[in-house]
Amino acid sequence: MIWSKEETMSREDMTALQTARLRETVNRVYEKVPYYRAKMDEIGLKPEHIKELSDLSKLPFLTKQDMRDTYPFGLFAVPKEELVRIHASSGTTGKPTVVGYTRNDLNMWTECVSRIAAAGGATSKDVAQICFGYGMFTGALGLHFGLENIGAAMVPSSTGNTEKQLMYMKDFGTTLLVATPSYALRIAEVAQQIGMDVKKEINLRIGLLGSEMLTDAMRNEMNKAWGEDVLVTSNYGMSELMGPGVSGECEYLDGMHINEDYFIPEIIDPKTGEVLPAGEKGELVITCIKKEALPLIRYRTKDITRLIYEPCKCGRTNVRMENLSGRSDDMLKIRGVNVFPTQIEEVLLAMDEIAPHYELVLTRKNHTDSMEIKVELLPDKMTDSYQELEALRNKIVHKLRIVLGLSAKVTLVSPNTLQRFEGKAKRITDLRKDGE
Amino acid sequence: MFIKQLSVFIENREGRLEEVLEALKREQVNIVSLSLADTSEYGVLRMIVSNPEGGKEALKAGGFSAMLTDVLAVKLSHRVGYLQELLGAICRAGINIEYMYALSTGTDDASIVLKASDLAKAEAVLRQDGVEIFTNTDLAKMS
């Protein structure tokens, strides 16, 4: 269902609303955030230069590095006393990025998540189990409050102990699962190992998957594992912008609806920073136009997507973003060819003979890259013929070569030997060093 | 009458073979004969065992990719040229032998396990020649 009237505004009204909110935000940021004011002053830009929506492209970008440089609160536009919540990214490299919320920010966040959850089919009758880690990570609490606001019964089971997750799902009658795509598949796999038929014993109706890209192939795997009737949608967000709730798919599964009254999207060429024409693929840049504590302007998400301005069959008129096709920093350059891990994933997941898990290892010898991909056989689809095993391996090599234009070494491994993930999957190991 | 061979995929990694044997031991599955080729990255361990179904379940539960394949277990007499004669008959019938290995029966005779492109036809050819073919019951007695 459509949660709010802002989701069906006319383009004209939306532009007017966005323009007013953008001007207000730029004024406030210029006044309250010395770091960003300096960036504007450097190029001689004043808040009064921002009159139209198209003036957005005059504003300087912000990146994750800016957040690190101003750690912890340097980009905040309100005094600390006005904060009611602080979250942070995991910070695997260097200092974490810190985000803060005022009371209004939290209300807005809840509103945004309620919208995308409702678009994904959630109702007050659902029992919603959240298999995201509760803590500094924004994913769990964001979805939690948005779904609770809709009236769903929340099961904050967090991550880990997959057998117990299954017990809750069965005993509490979970109808809606929040998880990363890889963990949702992992849960189904564990169910199979302990002899539980999830299609019969668990009454799942909705999968709200996020925090990781959902490819079509992954969605098919989800439906294969959990049932064809389960509505599996993908949603998008990042803690710097708010957390989950920036955008999400509706039942037509044709791109994620962006909450445009709060976030203005742009697509740029990641190399030049130039704004690309509507419909082209590039890096997503988001400007927060209603946030109080951390109103990031032109934040470079590093996510690669395309914007779809045509209205959706569901009746929403807001712009949609295609499911991500990669992150600009996930992009691998292998023997000079640009490769997104999702391309590899699509090839592997489309094959019935192998499990939806893989590991990619990149090495370099004598200045030549080599790519090894380990794929898992299925426990009950075995062949005892070397000829057939070699034929399977050659088929994978061949399909990868067609899609990537590169040849890879494919290694077959036993079922359940590759690592499984509860949060974001890390399937790529790049061992290449410069100068080798 | 075909017998069930238990096959399992093993990647070439230290200790992997032992894990297979460990899983079978835990379920009290006895190995009568086995064959494993020298390959570089992975191998298929083929076995004749006391309880093929139980062995397959034990391996699957242990995270292995395992399956049962129909094969022929043929009793040979210890005589020069006998195997050649048998294979000659199979060959003339236009049947291709995919693999073959020795079967230990615990008696003085020699025996083999063989997998052919057309197993039923191979069996008929051998029976015509009066060759003795083992059944699953015979194998259960051996182990």
Counting Cα atoms < 13 Å in the Cβ hemisphere of B2 gives 16
Give the residue on A whose Cα is nearest the Cα of B61.
Answer: A193
The pLDDT, as a whole number, for residue A68 is 87
pLDDT means per 10 residues, chain A with 436 residues, are 95 97 97 97 97 96 92 96 91 76 98 98 98 92 98 95 96 96 91 94 96 87 95 95 97 97 96 93 96 97 94 96 82 80 85 88 85 88 84 93 88 88 81 71
Structural contact between residues A243 and A139, judged by C-beta atoms closer than 8 angstroms: yes
Question: Which residues pair with residue A209 across a beta bridge?
Answer: A179, A234
Are B46 and A379 an interchain contact pair (Cβ–Cβ within 8 Å)?
Answer: no
The pLDDT, as a whole number, for residue A436 is 57
pTM for the model: 0.75
Residues of B in contact with A377 (CB under 8 A): 9, 65
| Nearest by Cα to A362 from A289, A433, A258 | A433
Q: Write the pLDDT tens digit of every residue in A200-257.
A: 999 999 999 998 888 888 899 999 999 999 999 999 999 999 999 999 999 999 999 9
Q: Write the pLDDT tens digit of every residue in A329-350.
A: 777 888 878 788 888 888 888 8
The pLDDT, as a whole number, for residue A218 is 87
Check CB contact of B38 with chain A, cutoff 8 Å: no
The pLDDT, as a whole number, for residue A434 is 64
Interatomic CA distance for residues B143 and B141, integer angstroms:
6
The pLDDT, as a whole number, for residue A262 is 98
Tell me which DSSP letter residue A62 carries. Answer: B
Interatomic CA distance for residues A401 and A163, integer angstroms:
39
Query: Which of the residue ranges A205-214, B53-62, B77-86 would you say has the lowest mean pLDDT?
Result: B77-86
Domains and CATH numbers, chain B: 3-69 (3.30.2130.10), 71-142 (3.30.2130.10)
Check CB contact of B100 with chain A, cutoff 8 Å: no
Residues of B in contact with A396 (CB under 8 A): none
| Nearest by Cα to B143 from B29, B28, B32 | B32
Check CB contact of B37 with chain A, cutoff 8 Å: yes
Domains and CATH numbers, chain A: 1-326 (3.40.50.12780), 332-430 (3.30.300.30)
The pLDDT, as a whole number, for residue A295 is 97
Check CB contact of A377 with chain B, cutoff 8 Å: yes
Which of B4, B9, B45 should we substitute to test contact with A (largest number of A Cβ atoms within 10 Å)?
B9
The order of strands in the sheet holding B31-35 is B31-35, B42-49, B3-11, B66-76, B110-116, B97-103
- Which is more confidently placed, B142 or A301? A301
Question: Is it the case that residue B143 has pLDDT exceeding 70?
Answer: no
